[in-house]
Amino acid sequence: MKIISFEGIEGVGKSTQIKLLKDYLESKHFHVDTYREPGSTDAGEKIRDILLNSKNQLSDEAELLLMFASRVELIKQKIQTSKSDYLLLDRFYDASVAYQGYGRNLSISFIESLISFINCPIPNLSILLDISVEEGFSRKTNDQIDRIESSSKIFFQRIRKGYIKIAKDHKDRFIKINASMDIEEIHNEIINHINL
């Protein structure tokens, strides 16, 4: 089984690319499952509601721990038992380093110990779709703004920089793609990096 995670700030087009890659892999007769974080299990989807509902006031620490509560359920209930050829993840643990570490300024070494504590499998490939904060948010005009999205622009600029650093620090598994390119161009770049 191969795990491919998709990362980036809001509006980079992760869901579109995940769908295109799923269709491509299925056309080659692979079995593919896709999961989103936070969420994708019964408990995880409830945790997602708590995390994203703008009516909820949450400390940064509670936000971090809830992300990991959702993640451990995804790992135990879906990833560890998976019989698929490919798992496509709409965000994984790098998102906690980017959002809660670089974004909220929580301890990155503590986040790394949570990653080990819950035995996160390391993705075979992580795709960072990179775009400016302005362009990302301008693409999201139709959506309702959730609790995390209502954070400041500076917060998202820290996250973007954080993601770029994470991708550099883990060159062995990360590729960074300019997400302002056409949808098809991005898709082609992604499939060029998939070793079937």
Applying CB under 6 A, the residues found at the interface with ligand TMP are 10, 36-38, 67, 90-91, 95-96, 99-100, 148-149
What residues have CB less than 8 Å from 8, skipping those under 6 apart? 14, 128, 129, 130, 131, 136, 163, 179
Least separation in angstroms between residue 15's CB and ligand TMP is 8
Least separation in angstroms between residue 111's CB and ligand TMP is 9
Least separation in angstroms between residue 19's CB and ligand TMP is 14
Q: The dihedral of CA 7, 8, 14, 15: what is its sign?
A: positive
Which of helix, strand or coil describes residue 16? helix
Nearer to ligand TMP, 183 or 196 (CB): 183
Cis peptide before 38 (omega within 30 of 0): yes
Nearer to ligand TMP, 99 or 137 (CB): 99
Nearer to ligand TMP, 25 or 148 (CB): 148
Nearer to ligand TMP, 15 or 188 (CB): 15
What residues have CB less than 8 Å from 48, skipping those under 6 apart? 38, 39, 70
